[in-house]
Structures are given as C-alpha cells and as structure tokens.
Amino acid sequence: MKTAVIVFPGSNCDRDAHDALLKVTGKAPAMVWHKDGTIPEGTDLVMVPGGFSYGDYLRCGAMAGNSPVISQLKDHAARGGYVLGVCNGFQILCETGLLPGALMRNASLHFVCRPQALTVETANTAFTSAYQGRSDVVIPIAHHDGNYFADSATLDRIEGEGHVAFRYAPGQNPNGASRDIAGILSDNGRILGMMPHPERAIGASEGGDDGLGVFESLLSAA
C-alpha cells in the first residue's frame, strides 16, 4: 500500500501518522507539505493528521481546508482513493465538504485527553474489517472540538446507510457529539474521519494497540 501524509503548518500528529503507516505497511509514507507538496501518483491512502493547523485560530480546519494541497486531496478522493482524517484531520475533511457535518467545541468547553471506549459500529468497511468479531475498543482521544454535529436528516441518512464507523461507548460520550458519533465514512466508504487517534494506539505505549485495526484493515483493502 502506498501512502502519504499531508503536513499543514501546525500539524503535530504527522510524525505519529508516519510511524503508524511505516509500522503497518512496512513503507514510509510520502510527507506532503501543504504549500508546494505533491501527493505522489499511485497513492492509495492519504492521511490528514491531527494537530492545530494554522493554530486553529479560526474555526478548526477552516484555513487548512482552503490550503493549496486540498485540490489534490479532492482529486485523490474523486478517483476513489482512501482518505483517513484523524482529529484535526477529521475537522479539515468536514471543512472541505468531503465529509458531512461539523465538529463543534466540546460540550464541557474543555480540551479532553483520555483513553476512550468506542463501539465499532460496522466491521464491514475498508477501515474496520480487522475489528471483525470485536466491537469494543479503547483508543485515545485528545481534542477541544470533537462535538460532531449534523442536522437530523443527515444523521438519519448516515446511520441508515451504515456510515457511522465508530461511536463513543454508551454513557461515555466525551464531547456531546450527536448520537455518540466518533467517526463517519463518506458515501463511497473510502473516506473516514474520526476524532480518536488510532495512530497513538499501535502498541508499546500508554495508548495501547487497539488502533492498529484501522491500518490493518486498510492494508488488506488497498
């Protein structure tokens, strides 16, 4: 699998994304600088990493969503390429319109970093197939704006079409997200945005290893 990681000014999970992709695919991803970088031809997966692009001084992800590299990202998505947006990356994907909805400030108004119990809603996707037979996982979160919101019609549609990939475990919603949504898929199932950080849960650290499944699923899909 050929992968790339977009790096915005203020991205700070780009190295973690790099390391996770290297660990699972055995090949280092291309690191693509937002200003003048190029997503290499033949890339299967583009990861939009977490962090604070442009400081999140404007609405989270709004600046990055208009960055020069985004047109290449959209082209990649239009070709049916895989895209994984984590945390700030999820926010950016919503800002670009590649995913529906928006991420608002956490209901508590506080930044929250904790090991988060999740429910894998479906193992029938390119991002979650490795979780077959295993619906409860713990993946760390770390965000200030993870409160997923969309209007009811959109939420009904996403749910109806099986495009909710992850939910916060019952009673453990950390940010007030609508219907406990932690991660959603695009209509074609090839774009996943999620607030939890699978790249921080690839083994041998406090984050555990429950995030590996996301990358392993992609490896077998691509």
66 binding another protein? (CB under 8 A): no
Cα gap 172→138, rounded to integer Å: 12
Query: CA–CA separation, 195 vs 152, rounded Å?
Result: 20
41 contact partners, CB below 8 Å, separation of at least 6: none
Minimum Å distance from CB 43 to another protein?
23
Q: Which residues in 142-161 contact another protein (CB under 8 A)? A: 142, 144
Biggest alpha carbon–alpha carbon distance for the chain: 44
Residue 18 one-letter amino acid: H
Q: Catalytic one among 13, 60, 87, 94?
A: 87
Q: Which stretch binds another protein (CB under 8 A): 38-46, 91-99, 106-114, 156-164?
A: 106-114
Q: For the CB of residue 202, give the shortest distance to another protein in the complex, in Å.
A: 8
Q: Can you name the residues that pair with 116 across neighbouring β-strands?
A: 139
Task: Determine, following the binding rule CB under 8 A, whether residue 54 of this chain makes contact with another protein.
Answer: yes
Q: How many CB atoms lie within 10 A of CB 176?
A: 16
Q: What's the rounded Cα separation, in Å, for the pair 184 and 173? A: 15
Is 206 tagged catalytic? no
**Residues identified as active-site:** 87, 197, 199
- Residues forming contacts to another protein in the complex (CB under 8 A) are 9-10, 12-13, 15-16, 19-20, 33, 35, 50-52, 54-57, 108, 110-115, 140, 142, 144, 197, 199-200, 202, 204-207
